[in-house]
Amino acid sequence: MLLNYKYQALRELGAISMTITAINPATGETMKTYQEMTTKEVRALIEAADQAFSTWRQTTFGHRTEHMRQAARILRDRNNEFAALMTLEMGKPITESRAEVEKCAWVCDYYAENAESFMQPEIIPTDARKSLVTFQPLGAVLAIMPWNFPFWQLFRFAAPALMAGNVGLLKHASNVPGCALALEDIFRQAGFPKGTFTTLLVGSPRVAEIIANPLVKAVTLTGSVPAGKAVAAEAGALIKKTVLELGGSDPYLILEDADLEAAVQTCVTSRLINSGQSCIAAKRFVVVAPIREKFEALFVEQMQSRKLGDPLEEDTVVGPQARHDLRDELHAQVQTSIRQGARCLLGGAIPDGQGAYYPPTVLTDVRKGMPAYDEELFGPVAAIIPVADEAEAVRVANDTTFGLGAAVFTGDLEKGERIAATELQAGCCFVNSFVKSDPRLPFGGIKESGYGRELSSYGIREFVNIKTVYVT
């Protein structure tokens, strides 16, 4: 269970006083400490959200669009401010932080432009005088969001959910409280009515308490597999809709006819996005035997050339990991894989000095049974898995409990499309490109990477009542 009920009782009576602290992972310094909200405060905010929903759901798409476009303008006008906040709280390289803020503005504009058409009733010919399908908002949706993309993960939920007429409740990761409060401020400054979007500043033990509130109608979570299972169990027991975007161990297939230099550049870029801390970053590189040695040489050269350093510096590609404990867990996975027979071609050692840094690392001769094969490596560590041919490459790519993203590199586009479309077991499959999210395309996974879809027309219809109306 996510909720310890003795803890809840003491917390409600004021016997426990909890704080949430933001720590700069580049320096280890405490930035700011925040007081956790009490159970009484959380209940009041959820009630206010429900009251806001009764009005917000009646507003026109034109009205919602004005506010959503204003949110996009605020994001662009204050890009540097928000980017610096992300970088300081979780260590993202500053250039990537700026790009993340701009992407959030894009998704706001996208749904401001398209939400009304996505939500138009569909007329279905039947024996009735008229039959149609309508899309009605559900109410307050709880978003449990991670630290790795502290703005983007939230906006890709909030933009479609609010444009559909729902209201949002945010329980953000505890290491990015400043981002969580800034997100609420953006919606307030954009003119969204009070209660339409609310940050609940609480720790993870409080999640079940919030899900159990009858005014919370649905839940979306981006996070780990254990967290997803726990949230699904809590929400499922109450028959509440969930959308889960969980971990990934994305395979990239490098076939013999690939443009090797272009493939390596793309693979290294993907592996090091967000300092390697992305669910859809390339993680397992499945390389056919004839090109293995050349691929490894080029790959190590490119990984080695990427700067590890202060995330506030413009030329830094790899910043610190978000927390020291996460860095240490990653290092343990690397060392275990090496003890089990993997060869380390680059990196693999914790650097001296302050900060939660981990260097770009390349492992090869990775086999089933090693953490580098079986588990998600959430950091700048690449696992090269040599295979004999295309058939074995596809088998190895699918030999995972995850199914979020995958990519194939080949000079034969028809073959690449066939492999991506019919053979790779993942929700997002790319050819000669790294996996990425795009507001115009549905995003999500299968197997232990979760279920449901975000973005595009599919995403906005996840948290609505798809209602049949039949008129004789």
Round to whole Å and give the CA distance between 148 and 280: 12
**Which of these is catalytic: 108, 279, 428, 429?**
279
Q: How far apart are the first and last CA of the chain?
A: 48
**What is the helix (H) or strand (E) element at residue 169, kind and residue range?**
strand 167-171
Distance CA 319, CA 229 (A): 30
Q: Measured between alpha carbons, how far is 29 from 366 in angstroms, rounded to an integer?
A: 37
Find the DSSP H helices in 18-93.
39-56, 61-77, 79-90
Q: Would you give the distance in Å from CA 309 to the centre of its chain?
A: 24
Report the alpha-carbon distance of residue 470 to residue 95 in Å, rounded.
Answer: 53
92 φ, ψ to 5°?
-60, 135
Single-letter code of the amino acid located at 227: A
Helix (H, G, I), strand (E, B) or coil at 227: helix
108 is catalytic: no
In the sheet where 343-346 sits, what is the strand order?
Answer: 343-346, 361-364, 381-387, 282-288, 250-254, 405-409, 428-431
> What residues have CB less than 8 Å from 267, skipping those under 6 apart?
252, 254, 282, 285, 299, 382, 409, 434
Report helix, strand or coil for 106: helix
Residue type at 7 in one-letter notation:
Y
Catalytic residue among 89, 245, 296, 375: 245
Angle formed at CA 323 by CA 318 and CA 328, multiple of 5 degrees: 90
Tell me if residue 245 is catalytic: yes
Helical pair 79-90 and 94-118, crossing angle rounded to 10 deg: 120
| Percent of residues in the chain assigned helix, strand, coil, to nearest 5 | 45, 20, 35
Distance CA 144, CA 222 (A): 7
Q: Is 341 left (phi over 0), alpha (psi -120 to 50) or beta?
A: left
Pairing of strands 250-254, 282-288: parallel
Q: Can you tell me which residue has the tokens 């994305």?
A: 250
Show the tokens assigned to 456. 């595009």
- Catalytically annotated residues: 245, 279
